[in-house]
Amino acid sequence: MPGARVRGSAAVSSPGAASDGRGAARAADPDGDVATPTFLHDHRRLAVAGAAMVLAVVAIYVLLPQVVGLNDALARLGAAVWYWLVIAVLFMIASFAAYVALFRGVLGGTSADDVRRRLDISASYQITVAGFAATRIFSAGGAAGIALTYWALRKAGMERRQGACRMVAFIVLLYALYLLTLLVFGTLLRTGALPGPGPVGGTIVPASIAGVVLVGVGLIALIPGDIERRLTRLSGDHRRLGRLLGRLATGPATVATGVRTVIDYLRHPRRGALAVAGAIGYWAAQIGILWASFEAFGGEVAFAVLVQGFFVGMVANLLPSPAGGVGTIDAGMIGAFLLFEQPAEIVFPAVLAYRTIAFWLPIPPGVVATFQLRQTVAEWERERHGSYTSESKVTVEAT
């Protein structure tokens, strides 16, 4: 809460514990919802993830340059222009600010209720930065960060269905811009409307895939909002079948609601200005980090190539990785810029600098934010418990 100092233990008490099947204990919530994602308490997984990160970095930045004949690629790191690296760090800070704005614009909602009051700037920062750390330390395409964010929303008092819908809207808005950029810049580069190399594999192929996915996402919005009720009614007197159909329809209905929320934001810019600006700002700041990293080593990359190479390289995040995209994104981004005919002796150190600033630097503040978030959640629970006690007492006295 604004201006409030959080006191008490960082741990959130709970009646039991569950396991996610991978060794990470999770404290069970009283309402049976998603359990507390105590990622940073599993020391064995942290050790394995850390070792995997180191091995991946060595393979990408030490062994690969030797294989392709660039033994002096890492030696160029000492020749970086320092102030460009400072600019890259400033862009990294800007990306955090934009991500917090996106969080507030979508997940914080617009109504002046207790949930929005709890999800103030401080809490939004803690959730987003802690989510960054969880995503980077653990793999599974960002699932750890999503789980932590959803858990925090529920602890803030958000209804389960509302929280799921807003999470979908958050992800759809962020990655719809990603897909739209791939489509636009890939097409413009391939047709020559924008200067720069236009290889088929880096332009029209990802642009076509992005277009198909965007159409698919748009079609999801056509799923009726009352599909659960319709399917239940179609089952007639078969109650078990009706319940089953209703449960099966819950997922598509939730996703459709999230997609329609994003469309509503885009159709009414004043309502969704903070969310859209945050999403655009986040991607722009990430590209800014990469641009400054190239400039630090004397790389002159055309703007369209820089943007398209960044987003094509980020596709590698979908591939399996030992920890949060380590190795896969590095290799994907290096491969993307080599595909766009950029000099390898510039690409290797530039991508290494980008990944150091965009990936490694946020981890320490993310770990700190995780413990701050646990304190904040503990404060929310004390507040809700105190409110419940007060209301119960009034009810008893009134009767």
For 150-204, write each residue's pLDDT tens digit: 888 888 888 888 888 888 899 999 999 999 999 999 999 999 999 989 899 999 9
Least-confidence region, from 288-292, 298-302, 329-333: 329-333
Is the model more confident about 317 or about 216? 216
pLDDT value at position 2?
37
Q: pLDDT exceeding 70 applies to what percent of the chain?
A: 65
Q: Per the domain annotation, does 298 fall within a domain?
A: yes
Contact 142, 329 (CB under 8 A): no
pLDDT value at position 94?
96
- Please provide the size of the chain in residues: 399
- Average pLDDT on 15-21 reads 38
Angle at 262 between CA 260 and CA 266, to 5 degrees: 115
- Average pLDDT on 289-308 reads 93
Tokens of 229: 């009720």
Is the model more confident about 288 or about 72? 288
Report how far residue 211's alpha carbon sits from residue 314's, in angstroms, rounded to the nearest whole number: 17
Please give the DSSP secondary-structure letter assigned to residue 86: H
Report how far residue 330's alpha carbon sits from residue 139's, in angstroms, rounded to the nearest whole number: 14
Tokens of 94: 């800007």
Q: Per the domain annotation, does 366 fall within a domain?
A: yes
19: phi then psi, degrees, rounded to nearest 5: -115, 145
Least-confidence region, from 200-209, 280-289, 342-351: 342-351
Q: Which residue, chain included where needed, has tokens 């992800």? A: 171
Q: Per the domain annotation, does 145 fall within a domain?
A: yes
Enclosing domain of residue 99: 18-24+39-223+258-387
Q: Where are the beta strands (DSSP E) in the chain?
A: 16-19, 25-28, 36-37
Q: Per the domain annotation, does 229 fall within a domain?
A: no
Q: Per the domain annotation, does 88 fall within a domain?
A: yes
With a cut of 80, say whether residue 317 has pLDDT above it. no
Q: Per the domain annotation, does 215 fall within a domain?
A: yes
Report how far residue 290's alpha carbon sits from residue 85's, in angstroms, rounded to the nearest whole number: 10
Those residues with Cβ within 8 angstroms of residue 7's Cβ, 6 or more apart along the chain or in another chain: 379
With a cut of 70, say whether residue 301 has pLDDT above it. yes
Q: Per the domain annotation, does 253 fall within a domain?
A: no
Q: How many domains does the chain have?
A: 1
pTM: 0.78
Residue-wise pLDDT for 259-276, tens only, equals: 888 888 888 877 788 899
With a cut of 70, say whether residue 123 has pLDDT above it. yes
Contact 163, 120 (CB under 8 A): no
Contact 33, 159 (CB under 8 A): no
Q: Per the domain annotation, does 238 fall within a domain?
A: no
Please give the DSSP secondary-structure letter assigned to residue 138: S
